Amino acid sequence: MVLNGPLILVETVNQMNPVFPDYTRVPMETNKTTKWKLLALAAMLSAGSASAADQGNSDMTQYYTGAAPVSAEEGDIVYDDVDYSADNMAASFYGNEGQSLQPVAFVGDQQLGSGVPTPSPMMDDSYIVSNGGGCSTGDCGNSYEMASSCGSACGGNCGECRQRPVRKMLKKHDVWMTAEALLWFTQARSTTPLITQSAAGTDPELDVAGTTTLFGGDESIGGDLSAGFRLDFGRNLNDDFGIGGRFWWLSESSEDASSGGTVNGNAFSYGRPFYDTNINSDNSILIASTGVAGNDDFEGSFSAESSLDIYAAEAYARMKMLSGSGFRTDLIGGFSHFGIDDTLTVNSTSIQTTDAIAGNIGDTTVLYDNIETENRFYGGQIGFETMVNRGKWSFKALTKVHLGNMEQIYRGSGLRTFTDAGFVTTTSTDGGVLALGDTYNTTALDEDKFTFAPEANVKLGYKFRPNVSMSVGYSFIYWDDVLLSGDNINNVYNGDGITFPPGAALAQPVSERKDSSLYTHGIDLGCVIDF
């Protein structure tokens, strides 16, 4: 039967129990009866669902069709992706005439005393029923069924059968795992000039016009893109508390320069600059040069490299502080460990090719320096993470600070080797020409310092699957007190200590130990899996 016109409810007398009235659904001119208890039950269900949506711990304000909303919590009812729009329901239930009526929810498969099939309560989801006759439940296939039984004879005509919504209880995601690719830039580092170049026939000294620095200098090392990865995993112990761990690592950030083999000074002069305390002026150790006044000619080679490695490991707990419809803020606290290793190596070989002034042809000087600094941070962390969900989109903001002890370790080692071509003898002396004083293999420069490291991260995610999201974000972290190799180079010494044979021991004035700050930042590309 097709109903047209507005619907009203009127009270009638219950013949079996006159104390309780019955309610009759009257479509203008037709009276059909139903039981008030069933209508009361439907009203209670509607009121209960509205109350649940208003609870502070719920991230839902309504029921959804299709994929489960990102913000739904455990116990919420969600529906499969089926079209139950009000327009479709009205078109089927009331015909194709003026569709201004709102759907009415009935309890049970049909209204008592009526042959009109009626849908079960589906909250805001409408339901299309059959307007054909003679169909039985299940006649439209395993995944489709009629709203009510119309009889035993179908005759192959099921009318407008539609699939019932499949109700599912959304399960809480107890475990999470995030894997991210890191594309970060680390702050450029500084050193004194280490390898210099000048035109042929001129000294490669810093105070000579036209001399350029090939390796070293102020903020000249690093600063390029470094790739890495970050893993974050954990488990929710209950709705308000969870524990997790995080590990991230950046690939080695390095800078290098090399002569590419033995070179002469016909095109350029190359040298290792230093400040000579004997003459109180800039000077250089010649690597390759031709026609420099007051010097014999040399050929040689050089190589220099600086590298920086950074990693982090964390164990943390998270506790819910605030939550509402589609958002949540957690307090983060736990243990933090960072490792920052900076290594600087410079190696040069000078071979004398003339003996017009001093020495012998073939005299060779090899200078090797290696300086390593290690920074190990052990401390705690505290901060906040806020998550906002809107449908399949999510946004996270993390801000925290790491506080604790930074263990700073300095190691400088080197070797000076001299070969006298005339007597075919070799003399080696421990210690290079760049290390601080005489602390090559001691712990005199090791220190422990209290430091802090603020960190921030923002992330935008999109849920492609019920348990899988892809994200893009930005991270920044800053260390207040770090020991770096380039800041602790001393290139002030007496030049006589370098000559062959050694005229005197290499003497360097004591220099101040220097600490500096360091930061890294960049883009994160990630995948989040909840299960």
436 — pLDDT class (breaks 50, 70, 90): low
Token pair for 80: 């499969």
pLDDT in tens, 249-278: 999 988 999 999 999 989 999 999 999 998
Give the Å distances, CA to CA, from 305 to 18, 186, 212, 225, 308: 99, 16, 18, 17, 10
pLDDT at position 367 over 70 = yes
C-alpha torsion sign, points 200, 201, 206, 207:
negative
432 — pLDDT class (breaks 50, 70, 90): confident
- Stretch 57-76: mean pLDDT, rounded? 41
293 — pLDDT class (breaks 50, 70, 90): confident
216 versus 359: the higher-pLDDT residue is 216
Average pLDDT over the chain, rounded to whole? 75
pLDDT value of residue 155? 45
302 — pLDDT class (breaks 50, 70, 90): very high
341 contacts 301 by C-beta, under 8 angstroms = no
pLDDT value of residue 345? 95
pLDDT at position 407 over 80 = yes
Mean pLDDT lowest among 210-219, 224-233, 436-445: 436-445
- Count of other CB atoms within 10 angstroms of residue 9: 12
Give the Å distances, CA to CA, from 442 to 33, 187, 435, 437: 98, 29, 12, 11
pLDDT at position 219 over 50 = yes
Question: Among residues 186, 189, 187, 284, which one has the least CA distance to residue 514?
Answer: 189
- Stretch 467-492: mean pLDDT, rounded? 93
pLDDT in tens, 486-498: 998 888 988 887 8
117 contacts 130 by C-beta, under 8 angstroms = yes
Token pair for 130: 């059959």
Mean pLDDT lowest among 365-369, 500-504, 515-519: 500-504
Query: What are the boundaries of each domain within the chain?
Result: 1-172, 184-314+355-372+405-452+465-530
DSSP for residue 267: S
Q: How far apart are CA 305 and CA 485, in angstroms?
A: 12
pLDDT in tens, 376-402: 999 999 999 999 999 999 999 999 999
pLDDT at position 162 over 70 = no
65 versus 209: the higher-pLDDT residue is 209
C-alpha torsion sign, points 264, 270, 275, 281:
positive
60 — pLDDT class (breaks 50, 70, 90): very low
- Count of other CB atoms within 10 angstroms of residue 41: 14
442 — pLDDT class (breaks 50, 70, 90): low
pLDDT value of residue 503? 65
> How large a percentage of the chain has pLDDT more than 90?
47
pLDDT at position 93 over 70 = no
Q: How far apart are CA 14 and CA 249, in angstroms?
A: 77
pLDDT value of residue 40? 53
Q: How far apart are CA 499 and CA 505, in angstroms?
A: 10
pLDDT value of residue 120? 42
pLDDT value of residue 43? 52
Mean pLDDT lowest among 135-149, 249-263, 315-329: 135-149
526 versus 12: the higher-pLDDT residue is 526
Strand-pair category, 77-79 with 468-482: unpaired
357 — pLDDT class (breaks 50, 70, 90): confident
- Stretch 13-34: mean pLDDT, rounded? 43
